[in-house]
Amino acid sequence: MRRVKQKKSFLKSKTGMGIFVLIMLTVGGFFLRPYIQMAGEKVREFYRQTTEKADLILEQITVEGRNRTGLDELNKALSGVEKGMPIFDISLTEIQEKTEALPWVKTAVIERHWPSTLYIRIVEKTPIAVWQNNKKYLPLDEDGKPIPDSETHLPDNLILVVGQDAPARTPALLKALNNYPDIREKVRSAVRIGQRRWNLNLNEVDGITVQLPEVNIDSALSRLNTAIERDKILKRDLQLIDLRLAERVRIQLKERK
């Protein structure tokens, strides 16, 4: 029993000592705070003078890879960065996050290039199609995600896609079409039907609609390619090409007026 009492007394004394040290540090910090602040200001002033003497101040900003990203947008991402400031005061992580948040930017690399250059390398998104939705037209990136930009001039050969679920389905459609370049060149637009399948509109005179099946799109396009090359069906006065049935190509002629 005596040993147990001694152990408890020791623990109690150790706790009391810890509390005493904590109180002394708190009180000491309170009285020393002004001196700590003065020391911090002197350190910052010394740092500023040192960087200036060593010419480690920002004099130039170099940007590579900017094509569709607006200059005004990029300047907003660089807000707070000014020539003449110490180059070590620039937060590379913050600038990278702001730059990659811009609509057309896919990735951005931000680096300090000694002694006085901020280097920015941008990789922009590649538009693969234009999505028509509620009378708005937005480009789609490689992953089928809409890019919030309706003003930038886009290549004329981009396919127009229509439908609520069109963006997510577009990369797979284009991948299949790219296997048949001659067909791909003729497709003007693609419309989702019932969120199940596509109708392709060819840019022939007066237009031809191609009905694709829900599955096995590549097989359907292969049948269409054969019908175009071997049977020359596009030379006929067609209105509709139906590829929804396996192993078949059904056509519908235009009505004579």
257 residues of the chain, pLDDT tens digit each: 334 344 444 434 444 554 454 456 556 655 656 545 555 555 455 445 554 445 689 999 999 999 999 999 999 999 999 999 999 999 999 999 999 999 999 999 999 998 999 999 999 999 999 999 988 999 999 999 999 999 999 999 999 999 999 999 999 999 999 999 999 999 999 999 999 999 999 986 568 999 999 999 999 999 999 999 999 999 998 999 999 999 899 999 988 76
pLDDT at 132: 96
pLDDT at 37: 58
pLDDT at 12: 47
Options 3.40.630.30, 3.40.50.150, 3.10.20.310, 3.90.950.10; CATH for 60-124 is: 3.10.20.310
- Confirm whether pTM is higher than 0.95: no
pLDDT at 117: 96
Q: Are 211 and 224 in contact (CB under 8 A)?
A: no
- Long-range Cβ contact pairs of 178-184 (< 8 A, separation 24 or more): 179/218, 179/221, 180/221, 180/222, 180/224, 180/225, 182/225, 182/228, 182/229, 183/221, 183/224, 183/225, 183/228
Burial 166-177 (b: 16+ CB within 10 A, else e): bbebbbebbebb
Which has the closest alpha carbon to 225: 188, 192, 178? 178
pLDDT at 98: 97
Task: Name the segment(s) of the chain with CATH classification 3.40.50.
Answer: 129-253
pLDDT at 118: 97
Task: Name the segment(s) of the chain with CATH classification 3.10.20.310.
Answer: 60-124
Which has the closest alpha carbon to 186: 238, 149, 140, 146? 238
pLDDT at 6: 43
Q: How many CA atoms lie within 13 A of 23 on its CB side?
A: 6
Architecture of domain 129-253: 3-Layer(aba) Sandwich (3.40)
pLDDT at 203: 83
pLDDT at 213: 97
